Copies of this chain bind each other. A is one copy, B any other.
Amino acid sequence: MSKVTPLSGFPEFLPADRIVEQQFLDVIRETFELHGFASIETRAVEPVERLSNQGEDADKEIYGVRRLAAGADEDAALGLHFDLTVPFARYVLEHSGNLVFPFRRYQIQKVWRGERPQEGRYREFTQADVDIIDSGELPNHYEVELPLVIADALRRLPVPEFVIKVNNRKIPEGFYRGLGLDDVTSVLRIVDKIDKIGPEKVVERLMEAGATDKQARLAVQLADISSTDTSFADQVRALGVEHPTLDEGLEQLSHVMAAAAEHAPGLLMADLRIARGLDYYTGAVYELYLVGQESFGSVGGGGRYDALASDGKTTYPGVGISIGVSRLVHRLVSQGLLKGTRSTPTAVLVALTAEEDRAEAMRTAATLRGRGIPVEVAPAAAKFGKQIRFADRRGIPFVWFSTENGPEVKDIRSGEQVPADAATWTPPEADIRPRTESTQLDTTTQENS
Contacts and interface: CB of A to CB of B under 8 A. Distances in A.
Q: In the assembly, how many copies of this chain are there?
A: 2
Contacts of A62: 67-69
A104 B36 contact: no
Interface string A47-74: 1111000000001111111111110000
A124 interface: yes
A143 to B, nearest CB: 13
A421 interface: no
Interface string A390-415: 00011000000000000000000000
Interface in A101-143: 102, 104-105, 110, 112, 114, 124, 134, 139, 141
Contacts of A134: 379
B65 A60 contact: no
A35 to B, nearest CB: 7
A364 B44 CA distance: 38
B40 A12 contact: yes
A445 interface: no
A263 B98 contact: no
A14 B105 CA distance: 11
A261 B344 CA distance: 29
Nearest to A372: B34
A292 interface: no
Contacts of A331: none
A26 B152 CA distance: 23
Given A35-B375, A50-B1, A98 B10 contact: no
A174 interface: no
A278 interface: no
Nearest to A115: B67
Contacts of A78: 7
B45 A4 contact: no
Interface stretch (A87-95, A182-190, A204-212, A423-431): A87-95
A112 B45 CA distance: 10
A112 B39 contact: no
A25 to B, nearest CB: 10
Interface string A11-26: 0111100110010000
A67 B22 contact: no
Contact of A47 (B2, B90, B345): B2
A310 to B, nearest CB: 8
Contacts of A68: 48, 62-64, 79, 114
A328 interface: no
A49 to B, nearest CB: 7
Contacts of A362: 145, 148, 263
A112 B44 contact: yes
Interface in A363-405: 369, 372-377, 379-380, 393-394
A377 B37 CA distance: 12
A18, A41, A259: residue with the most chain B Cβ atoms closer than 10 Å: A41
A39 B63 contact: no
A38 B3 CA distance: 26
A6 B94 contact: yes
Contact of A15 (B39, B90, B262): B39
Contacts of A99: 14-15
Contacts of A373: 34
Contacts of A145: 362, 377
A5 B78 CA distance: 13
B13 A40 contact: yes
B38 A345 contact: yes
Given A1-B50, A34-B372, A345-B38, A14 B141 contact: no
3 closest A-B pairs by beta carbon, nearest first, are A36-B376, A36-B346, A67-B114
Interface of A: 1-7, 10, 12-15, 18-19, 22, 33-45, 47-50, 59-70, 78-80, 90-91, 93-95, 98-100, 102, 104-105, 110, 112, 114, 124, 134, 139, 141, 145, 148, 152, 259, 262-263, 311, 343-346, 358-359, 362, 369, 372-377, 379-380, 393-394, 433
11 contacts: A2-B47, A4-B90, A4-B311, A13-B40, A34-B345, A43-B124, A44-B124, A45-B124, A48-B68, A60-B69, A68-B114
